[in-house]
Structure formats: structure tokens, C-alpha cells
Amino acid sequence: MKNRKRITLLSLALLLGLLISGCSGADRVPEGEIHHRSEYFDGDNSLTVKERLALLEERLRPSSGNLFRYVYAEEELLEDLSPARDLTNNIQDFRWQTPAILGTYPVDNVRFVDTPDGGHYYAVWMTDRGNACYVFFNREGNAYGHPVYAAGTAKSRRDFSSLKEGDKIEKVIRIDPATKLYAASFRPLGEGEGAEEANRDVKERYEIYATWSLTSVHLLRDGFLEIRYRFAPKGGYEIDRIACSADFKGICSISEMAREWDGLSEEELADYEEFASHYDFTILEKDYCPFETDDPVSGAERNIPVPVEETDWTLKVAWGTGERAKEKTLRRADIGPDRIVTVVAARYRGNDPEGSVQNMWMGGVFLTTLAESEGAGDWDRAVVTLADGTEKTVTRHRAEKDKILIAWIRNEKYALDGTGTGLALASRDGGPDAYRPGVAGVRFLPGGETP
């Protein structure tokens, strides 16, 4: 009788553990509608950098908000956004380019992370099995790296500390269940093919395409982990190499292989190394799985993009004090394309708070970037003069924190003040006081100086 009770209690404990498990990937179906791939995308990926960035910005979620609860069928995501595929070399396959990804799997969960090297985007999809998929995009709007799948609670480097070369992939799966999704996408041994022959093929393809096909990647709370595998002599897969970057710079296979390619000049090699520096997998803390989510947005409530025309303008920029004071008038052509950012400025349609929200596309330059380019490196505050003569003071801390920028727009129909406007003071992440249209000039003041 005692044994029977013990077995019953163990069974109940096991059942309870399964019921309360979090984002574990154990075929747990989240609440809400399950979405499927869209069939309307026509395969046209011939977009400019600005157009690709606009696609990402259109679906941007501010860092202050939670991700939307928008669930897709995992089987379809795995088929199109295969975890075994490195998206960096995506020229030949339309499924791996930004318009196709966002057109086939529309989602309003795009984030922007500002970093010292220019920042990057990433999109997050939730799956019907309780997992998550992340895809990362650079500042040109191109996807890079492997799609990152997450299952269960986010891990740290310490969780993987026991792994070593030669360990079976099953050991990795026990640490991170998402590894099973990667393993399922690995190519198996061909009929009559041995492990040695298959490993030689994997290495040859790596040397040609700079892609190691047997790879799992793990987005940790304290770094980015990449594990490469090889075919084990007795079957299955075993660890070939483990690499972890504490700064979340993933292992860029293309730059890595460039060091082994013959005939590259120092300049060419430097280009590959520069590319590697943008291979960043940093995400917001709140976006680690499992995460808090907001309700999805229905089609009728979707933000409405507003077309905006660019126009020329002039901006008076002053910096320094006393004998070192300088002043300069900038025009649109003086701001190089490398300093342009695409931003979303939101307002209520028809200024009706109960109505839909409209997105206004703008090009612009961050105040911090503008100050640095004009030599005002020691500035503490920026005093922005508006067209009506009023002034708005922005501290350097707020400019960095809220991504404050000078944006140029012209749209007779949708301008905030009802007329065309050439410049505006805007916050990239929106929020209160997001717009000050009609900017005439800006003065950068060091600490202690009065306007």
C-alpha cells in the first residue's frame, strides 16, 4: 500500500511539474490565435537600404513596451527560418531577405538596440509550442547570423561550463532544450556515407561558403554561445568546438574564414573584420524567454504609415564659448548618408486620441552624432531654437537615453502643425514631448555655461 501511495504521489508531482513548466518547448500551446505563414508575398526583395529599414521601423516596438503576444506555427517557422542556416549569406535565397521574412511572417515585435557601433534590429516570433525565434538585422536592414531559437528559461555561461569537445549533442540538449530544434535541422548521414567523409564535406563547405552547417547558437544572459558539431564515429553528433563571446558579438564565419583565404590585402582583410564588429546579438533584458507580453494588435488597429517627402533645409549649429565659439549653417547635403537614421514619429490620426495612430517616417541625425561631427565633444546641454523663437533645452543624458534627434520632414497634408515643416526635434522612442516641429538652430553648451 505504501509503495502504491508513493508511486501515486510521484506521478502527481511529475504531472504538476509539466503543468507549471514555463516556456519549455514541451508542446505547450500558448493562449490566443495561432497564425500561419502569409501567402501574399511575391518574392520581390529589390529594396534600397532606406526601404528595408522602413519595413523594420514600421513594426518597431518601443523599448518601454512589452512584446506583443503573436503566436505562429513553429513547424512553419522552422521550415522557412531554419536554425541551421546562417542568414548572413542570403543573396540567392529570397526566404532569407528582410522583405520576405517580414512579408511571410508579419509581426509587430521588432526592437532596435542602440550600441556604440551604430545599433541593430531584431524581430521576435512566439511559437505555438511555447518557444521563441529571434532574427537579427544590421543597420542596412539585412538579416545576419542564425535564427536564434529559445526554449525554457534563459541560461548563463555557467550552465554550459561542463561541456567539452567530443561530448554528445544530447548533453547540450539536456542543458538547453532549444538545441533539439537545431539538431533536427542538421543534415543526416547519406546512405553508405561514413562520419569521416561527412565531416570532410562539412569542412569543405565551410571553406567555400564560410558556413558551418552543424551549429547551434544560444542567447545567454551573459553572452552569446556558439557550438559547432561534427558527425560522431559511432553515430549522432558530437561537439567540435565551443566559443562564447561575453560582449554578445557572435562568431562571424565570413570574417573568420577571411583570415585563412589566400591573396587578401590588408585593406580587404580589414573590411571583413569591420563587418564582424557589427555581428551583434544584444537584446533587451525584458525580451528573454519567458517574457511578459501584451495583447496582439488586430488588423483594424494597426498603425497607419504616412508617406513623408524629404526637402532641403538649413540649420544653424553653434558650439564652444568665448574665443572658441563657432557657428555654422548646415544644409541637407552636409549630413552624409552614414549619419541618417530612419525613425518613426507617431501621432493620433486627425489629432483624435480615440482614433488610430499614424506613423510619420523621418530621416535625421542624432544630437550626439551632430555634436561629435562638429567638434562639440564636451557639451553638456543642447539648446534648440524653434521656428517661433522659443527654445527647448535637452541634456546630453536625455539625448543619449531617449535618442533625441534633429529630423527632416516635409508633408503638407500630415505635418503636425498643419503645414509643411523642414525640421523637427524628435525622440526616436516616442513618448511624451516626442515632437517639436520647426527647428531653426541648435547650440551645444559645455557644463556650467548659461544659454
CATH of residue 350's domain is: 3.90.420.10
Return the residue matching grid coordinates 580587404: 268
Indicate whether 288 and 366 sit together in one domain. Answer: no
Tally the domains of the chain. 2
In angstroms, how far apart are the furthest CA atoms of the chain? 95
DSSP 8-state symbol, 343: E
User: Which three cell numbers mark 442?
Assistant: 541648435
Rounded Cα distance, 89 and 85, in Å? 9
Do 234 and 315 belong together in one domain?
no
Residue 315 covered by a domain: yes
Q: Give domain status of residue 1, yes or no.
A: no
Range of the domain at 108: 21-294
What is the reported pLDDT for 246?
87
Q: Are residues 340 and 281 in the same domain?
A: no
Check residue 7 and give its pLDDT.
Answer: 38
Residues 50 and 170 in one domain: yes
Same domain (yes/no): 323, 264: no
Domain end call among 240, 263, 294: 294
Residue 245: its H or E element: strand 237-245
One-letter amino acid identity for 138? N
Tell me the pTM.
0.64
Where a domain ends, among 232, 260, 294?
Answer: 294
**Closest-CA residue to 227 (of 288, 278, 282, 157):** 157
Task: Determine if the peptide bond prior to 290 is cis (ω within 30°).
Answer: yes
User: Do 246 and 359 share a domain, yes or no?
Assistant: no
- Say whether both 283 and 320 belong to one domain: no
Residue 9 lies in a domain: no
Shared-domain flag, residues 159 and 234: yes
Q: How far apart are CA 124 and CA 87, in angstroms?
A: 15
Distance between CA atoms of residues 216 and 229, nearest Å: 8
Q: Which residues pair with 309 in a beta bridge?
A: 410
How much is the pLDDT for 332? 76
> In the beta sheet, which residues pair with residue 392?
384
State which of 294, 321, 347 marks the end of a domain: 294
- In angstroms, the CA 132 to CA 153 distance is 11
Residue length of the chain:
451
- Residue 320 within a domain: yes
| Residue 316 sits in the same domain as residue 259 | no
Whether 135 maps to a domain, the answer reads yes
The set of residues, in sequence order, having a beta carbon less than 8 Å from that of 2 and lying 6+ positions away, is: none
Q: How far apart are CA 57 and CA 361, in angstroms?
A: 9
Say if 371 falls within a structural domain. Answer: yes
- Identify whether residues 78 and 196 lie together within a single domain: yes
pLDDT per residue as tens digits for the range 150-162: 999 999 999 999 9
Per-residue pLDDT, 277: 63
268 φ/ψ sector (left φ>0, alpha ψ -120 to 50, else beta): alpha
pLDDT of res. 278: 66
Residue 157 belongs to some domain of the structure: yes
Q: Are 443 and 319 in contact (CB under 8 A)?
A: yes
Residue 4 lies in a domain: no
Same-domain status, 151 and 285? yes
Do 160 and 40 lie in one domain? The reply is yes
> Which residues of the chain register pLDDT less than 50?
1-29, 91-92, 94, 299-308, 344-345, 347-357, 411-419, 432
